[in-house]
Every structure is written in C-alpha cells, then in structure tokens.
Structure 1
C-alpha cells in the first residue's frame, strides 16, 4: 500500500497535461544552428582526430586503445560513400547536434514547460560555443553528448508515463554510447544515487531497466576481451587525460571551464536548472536529476577528466532552467534575458570557423597554437605528406623497397597513412596512442623515415640517424605539422617485433 501511495504521489507531481510542442520556434532555432554548421563543414582541412578516425575505420575492430568502435565505423562508412569528403565525414556530428537541440526542447516540454520554455532551451543549446560548435567536426564527444541528451529524455519521460519500454530504449542507447566512450556509466551512477535519494525508487525495481543493463554488459564483452588482452589501454588513457588537464589549470579550472562551455545563456540556465530541479515544487518528481550534474562533475574532477565530459546532461538541466525562467522571471528581468540571448548569439558566432584560411595568421607561439587547436589542428597535412614523399624519393631504390615510415604522432601517422597512394609512400606506423596497435613494422624494415620528434627516440632505436628533410606549414601546430624534422634511421638495434611493445605510448 505504501508503495502504491508513493507512486501516486510521484505521478501527481508530474505535469498532468503537456504543453503543445513548439515546432515552429524550435525547428527554426535548430534549423539556423544546422545551417550555421553546414556553412562551415568544408572549412580549412581535416582535424587530426578525424584523420585518425578514418584510418582506424579502415582497420575495423571491436575496440581500440583510446575509444570504442562506433566513430571509426562512422568514419569508414562516410569515407566509403564519399571518399575524402570532409563534409560527408562531418554530417553525422551535425545531425546528432541538431537532433539534440530538438530533444532538449522536448525535455523542457516533459518538465511542463511552455512553448517559450521549449524555445529558450533550444536557443541556449544553439548558442553554446561548445554544444553547437562541436558539430563542425566528427568527434567522439559530439556523438557522446547527443546520446546523453537522448538518454536523459527517455529517463525523464518515463517518470511521467511509466512506460518501461522507455527504460529499455535508454539502455539500448547506453549500449550504443559505450561503443563511443566509457563515460555514460558515470551518468547512470548519478541517476541511481539521485533516485535512491529523492525517488522515484520504483524505477530501480523495473525489470526492463535491469534487463537493459544486462544487455549493455553482454554487448560490451567483445570490447572488454580486446582490452584485457592488451592490458586495458583505454583505462590507461585516464592518466594521459589527467596530464593534459594539468596543462590547462587542472582541477582548479574544471568547474569554470565546464560551466563556461554552456555559453552565456546556457550557463545561467544550467545554474538555474540545478536549483529548480532541487527546489521547485512543480519539478519535484524530477528532483533526482538535479544531483546528476553535481555528481558527474565531482566524479570527473576526482578522476581528472576533461571539463566537457559533463556537458551531456546540460540539455536536460538547461530545460529545467528554462521552465523556471519562463514561469518566475518577469518585468525587467525578461529584458535582461533578451540581452543574455543576444550576447550568447554574438559569442557563438564569434567562435565559428568563418575566417578564410588565407586571412588566418600563424599562431604566435606553440601555446597559442594548442590553445586554438580546433583551428590550427586542421592545417599542414599536405605539406607533411609532400616533405615525407621527397625524403622517401631521396632513398636509393633498393632501400625504398624495404623502407617504412614511423611517425612521432598518431595524427601525423593517420594523415600519411590516408595519403599513401596519392604520394606513393611506403607503409606507415606510429607507436603513439591507438595507432600503435594497428601494426608493428616488419623486421625487414632496416631503413626508416622517422617523422617528427627531436631525434631522441630514433637514436635510441637505430644505429645511424640523420636529418634528411623538413616539413613546415604556415598555420600548422608546432611539433605536428609545423617545424618538423624528418629523420633517416638505419640499422635498427633490435628487431621491431621485439621493440614495438615497449615503444607504445598513449601520450
């Protein structure tokens, strides 16, 4: 009887009748965002990670050292349909980003939000410099973020409808997301903690939820076996991410950067949404979701994750903030809201890659280049391939027959690997990150063209090492496509088959 009364109370707290969906406003806002993304999809060149995804996709596997198989599979499929097309490669990120805008508005509707709240939610998503702009390139985070939004919607919708198929659907999308990144379990742990704390605890007694969880685990078995046989490299990526975060402020900057990624309007709605979910009587049934952004933030701070790992839950939290704003904000505060929207629009327009490449200036320093990685990480691949080709052709013909290329960086290796046929290059290898698991140089490779680095590593591996070339792109990243030395390495000190495992590095 007690359980029945609790269930009835929870249902009474849920909105009895939903507002009509604001198709006109929401689709217009999402459409403008989509058009802005589409206008920039062909800008500059491939981002380094995109090259890696295509290269990994040509070597389809159940798992990779640094990610799941879904994004490489997407890259392989798009490259198969439209070989070499940047626009085709980036379309999936555009589509899932636009879909996340629509679904975020649907979440606002589930919270009982008016058409204005739904439009405000969509506007906050579209004016986020991170949530929108990540749709300009194929990335694991663009796919992961969208899936978090969809899963949030299904869980939140279940609270109102109690249709257990929604929980099964959320589990199915979780299984898909686990093939992208291993971050979604943090979301589910936060949801479970929130439900245990605030209810509805009935969710945790639903067989569909646990059946879906079992299905997720079953689908992960091949990936887990792959990882276990290679000493769990994907877990080892955590140390690398932590090292990278130390370079940008570490834990001290995590919260400001995480909130800032939502944009001006988005940040206000995220903070308002957390308060509304935890305090607003009309959202009492969804109070459990108020702790989700707090708990995942704490988890990623403790584990030294990246600030943008938390943005997947922003769609739902901004929706709650929009519901609060449209119900409680009046008078001059509405005009302040209009100002926030305008500032947010200007901010997101400013960070979109509109500037023609010819008008871009080289980064003033290596630090500036890495700080603007999303721009400078798209240049220099052709120059790198041409320099490698020139150095390769300088080799005597007898040595070219047994030579290979080893690149210092997985970005370099991916770019050269994809340009092999075009530039007539030999097989390409790299001990860096996931590329190191793609294959080992043959022991017959007694001559190596080593691309990048300061020569320390090739000198440790080869008896004779000589600088034979240079690659330099005006807009490239120093150490990747700008100011690069090519080394000729002869007479390896030991067979590559025995040396390669110790050379592998996730850094």
Structure 2
C-alpha cells in the first residue's frame, strides 16, 4: 500500500508547473537514440522515448517511470529493514519514513538519471546485506545485474562499488572478496554496461570531462556538508545518524558494518572534491532504513512517525508543486525552499519571446533563418514549444545536443538565445541585439540576450566546431 500511495502522490503532482530543464533535453535525446552521449549513458533518453510512445508527449507521461522506480525504492527500504531484523509493521514504518525524505521525493518527481540511480544504490545495498545475512553468494550475480543497469543510467554507481569494496576492506567480512560469484557479478555488470562503455571509449571518455566540470573543488565542501542534512531532511537527519552509529556498534550487525564504512570512506572524499551532496543520497537512505530499525518501542515509533510527517511536508514544499508558482515567488521563505521548482517554469514564455524576434525578421530572412540556443535547456524548450509559434528548428552545440544536427551550409541568418555576444558575434559579419529574456517568476534564463546574426564567416562545419562545448550551466 505504501508503494501505491507513493505512485499516486507523484502522478498527482506530475502535471505542473512544467518540464524540468533536463527533461527537455532528455525528450530531444530520445529522438536521437544512441549507445551513449557526451554527458550520460543511454538509458534515460531511451526511457523518455518509450514513455512518449506509450503514454503520449506530455509532462505527466514522461514522469510515469520515475514515479514507479521510486515507489520500488521505497519498497526496498522496507526489505532492508527486514534484513536487519525488523518485523512487518516496522518494515512498513521504515518504508513510510524513507518515502518522506527529500532524496526520495526529488528522485521520483521528474525524469532524471537520479530516478534510476536512487533505486540502484538502495537495491544493491539490500542485496549485499542479504548476501552477508544468508550466505547465498549466488546473489552477487543479482548485485552485478543491478549495478550494470545503473551504469546504463549514470556512471556514478561506480562510486558505490568503490565505496562498498572499501567498506569490505576496512570493516569486513573480507572473505567475500575471494568469492567466484562476486567475480561473476562483476562480469555481469560489465556485460550489461558494455554498450555505453564502448561508446565512451570510442569517443575519448567525454564523461571524465563532464565530471571535472561538475566538481566545485574544496570551495564546495561547506555545500556538501549542508547537503548531507538537506538530502534527507532536517527532521530525519537524526535517523540516518542513528543508523550509521548502530551499524558501527551493534554486535549483531557486524556483518553489515561495511555499509557504514562505505559512507565514512566516500563522504569525506566527495567533500574534499566539492562534489554534489546528492551523490551520497542512496547510502544515506539505506542508513535511514537502519536507523528506523532501532525504533523498537512505541514511543520511538511515535517520534519517528511525527518526524517523518514534518520532514515529508518540508520536502514536498521543496520539490513538489504543492503551491502555485506565484505563491512561491511571492514569499521570500518559500522562494528559497522551492528554488528548484523555478527550473520547471517559464519555458513557453521563452519560446514566445524568441518567436517575437523571429517574426520581426523580413519575410525572406524569416524563411531561411534558424534558431541557436547556448544550452540544451533553451534548445529543448524551443523544440517542445517552438512549433506552436512557427519557429524553425533550434540547434545547440552543448554536450550531445551538438551531435543532433547543425545548420545547413546555406543558412546565413541566426536568431541566437543566451550566447555571449562578444564570442558569438566574432563568428558572423554582423550581429544585432534584439532584447533580453524576461519572466514573471524567478528564472535562471532571466536577462539573457537575444541576438540576430547574419553572414557566418566560416563554413558551418568549422563554425560548429568552434561553438561546441561540454559542461553544465
């Protein structure tokens, strides 16, 4: 019942306020299926394509799979509690608590690699704990299959493998490292992930460039520490701390100590690198499940239930559109809490403003003009909404969007969105400013310039190589 309720909640809020910026990219990537992409493996664009084919090209349709995957992850947290000795009622309570974390709500609300990654980390940890409890080493093949699927969605799962291996070396039981079944599981993982790995190798491992772009370095250490609280939520942070301590101290949980050791190994490393706080959210969720098992008395369970309710309300305010965007924008506290939701607004407005610039062109220029967007969010938004405004095809040279096509050689008029005027203008005979983007609510595209450029100085093949860039925005 908990998993059904989770799906219902996610789908109830799936229809608004709009596409998240990355979803707009995945939607277009799904129209250009490949074995790999500059910034990700193949699975999420494939899921985007399948959902659109099965359910239609709508906001709710593209969010069905994330809702289902996250509901399964909630179920698995209850199974983890069962492996650690919890009875049925406590397993249900554990699932409810884990459903109320920010990490869970964020994973299930939008289509993103995190939706898969969240389930993969939790499921892999559950299977490892089960191997250690039952001694059934054949389950290492299942662990390998889960990791392999994870590698098709996000290469971050390598971090989990390294962390768990380090946990085994530090806390044991080291004997499992000699298991032939473990080696077989590694082979299964590599076999499943091989299409993406081969693509990366053939293209010079662009994922390493992306990883470097996403690291904030030592300056991001404070953000990482704060994120360890926020990723679960302040009301449930004590629960994962209790779980961490219990895994380290309880004698009967000694075989599973590697999970706590894995977190203690990987978290300081990520903090020093200034990595995204969400990189640990899978392990933190497992620690929450362990902490829930310590709620053996009625008083502790009542406290745990109250903390979950408070945490769930706060997390929902942060990632689900429980209030209107105008309400978030009009309140300074809510604006901070719901900051991520502003990334789901304004995309039709962007298309309308670009369309106004395009319509203002002379008729002969309008017929041969194209639109160029600096980042994949702008390009994805124009691909989704531009047709309704009569816009021509939009191109972008960021990441793999650059491989989805470039302007034809005879194109000599470009409506450019969000580019740096100095560097972009250098590629054309002349460029004119046509205003800046404006939005009714906070938006990270606010104030970006709109240009009309004419007369590319080089053939488009050479211009495209100069425009290509890899990174985040």
- Confirm or deny that 1:386 pairs with 2:386: no
Task: Report which stretch shifted further, 229-238 or 272-281.
Answer: 229-238
Deviations 1:381-400 (A, max 9, x none): 21222222232233334333
Q: 1:70 aligns with which of 29, 34, 43?
A: 43
CA RMSD of aligned residues (A): 2.6
Instruction: Give the equivalent residue in structure 1 for 2:311.
Output: 344
**CA distance in 2 between partners of 1:322 and 1:224 (Å):** 38
Instruction: Give the equivalent residue in structure 2 for 1:499.
Output: 463
Q: 2:396 aligns with which of 414, 430, 433?
A: 430
Instruction: Give the equivalent residue in structure 1 for 2:378.
Output: 412
Instruction: Give the equivalent residue in structure 2 for 1:356.
Output: 324
Q: 1:483 aligns with which of 447, 450, 456?
A: 447
Q: 1:271 aligns with which of 203, 226, 241?
A: 241
Per the alignment, in what secondary structure is the counterpart of residue 294 of structure 2?
helix
**CA distance in 2 between partners of 1:254 and 1:180 (Å):** 23
Per the alignment, in what secondary structure is the counterpart of residue 41 of structure 1?
coil
Instruction: Give the equivalent residue in structure 2 for 1:287.
Output: 257
**CA distance in 2 between partners of 1:190 and 1:158 (Å):** 17
Q: Structure 2: any 5+ residue segments left out of the alignment?
A: none
Query: What TM-score do you get using the length of structure 2 for normalisation?
Result: 0.91
Instruction: Give the equivalent residue in structure 2 for 1:120.
Output: 93
Task: Report which stretch shifted further, 251-260 or 216-225.
Answer: 216-225
Per the alignment, in what secondary structure is the counterpart of residue 264 of structure 1?
coil
Shift in alpha-carbon separation, 1:65–1:499, aligned structure 2, 3 A: same
Instruction: Give the equivalent residue in structure 1 for 2:432.
Output: 466
Instruction: Give the equivalent residue in structure 1 for 2:31.
Output: 58
Per the alignment, in what secondary structure is the counterpart of residue 61 of structure 1?
coil
Instruction: Give the equivalent residue in structure 2 for 1:101.
Output: 74
Q: 2:214 aligns with which of 230, 241, 255?
A: 241
- Confirm or deny that 1:224 pairs with 2:224: no
Q: 2:153 aligns with which of 169, 180, 185?
A: 180
Task: Report which stretch shifted further, 63-72 or 250-259.
Answer: 250-259
The structure with the larger Rg is 1
Aligned residues: 470
Deviations 1:140-197 (A, max 9, x none): 1122111111111111111122333321111111111101111111111121222233
**CA distance in 1 between partners of 2:74 and 2:451 (Å):** 48
Q: Give yes or no for contact 1:128–1:264 (8 Å, CA) kept in 2.
A: no
**CA distance in 2 between partners of 1:201 and 1:310 (Å):** 23
Shift in alpha-carbon separation, 1:357–1:103, aligned structure 2, 3 A: same
**CA distance in 2 between partners of 1:315 and 1:497 (Å):** 47
Instruction: Give the equivalent residue in structure 2 for 1:13.
Output: none
- Confirm or deny that 1:309 pairs with 2:273: no
Query: What TM-score do you get using the length of structure 1 for normalisation?
Result: 0.85
Q: Structure 1: any 5+ residue segments left out of the alignment?
A: 1-26
Deviations 1:93-119 (A, max 9, x none): 111111111110101001112234323
Shift in alpha-carbon separation, 1:483–1:256, aligned structure 2, 3 A: closer
Deviations 1:390-447 (A, max 9, x none): 3223333433343221102210011112334433322211122332232333332211
Q: How does 1:131-210 map to 2 (within 5 A)?
A: 131-210=104-183
**CA distance in 2 between partners of 1:418 and 1:334 (Å):** 47
Task: Report which stretch shifted further, 422-431 or 101-110.
Answer: 422-431
Instruction: Give the equivalent residue in structure 2 for 1:256.
Output: 226
Shift in alpha-carbon separation, 1:371–1:109, aligned structure 2, 3 A: closer
Q: Give yes or no for contact 1:255–1:297 (8 Å, CA) kept in 2.
A: no
Deviations 1:337-382 (A, max 9, x none): 4543343243234333111245443698xxx989854211111221
**CA distance in 1 between partners of 2:331 and 2:396 (Å):** 26
Q: CA deviation at 1:476?
A: 5.1
Shift in alpha-carbon separation, 1:422–1:219, aligned structure 2, 3 A: same
Q: Give yes or no for contact 1:405–1:427 (8 Å, CA) kept in 2.
A: yes
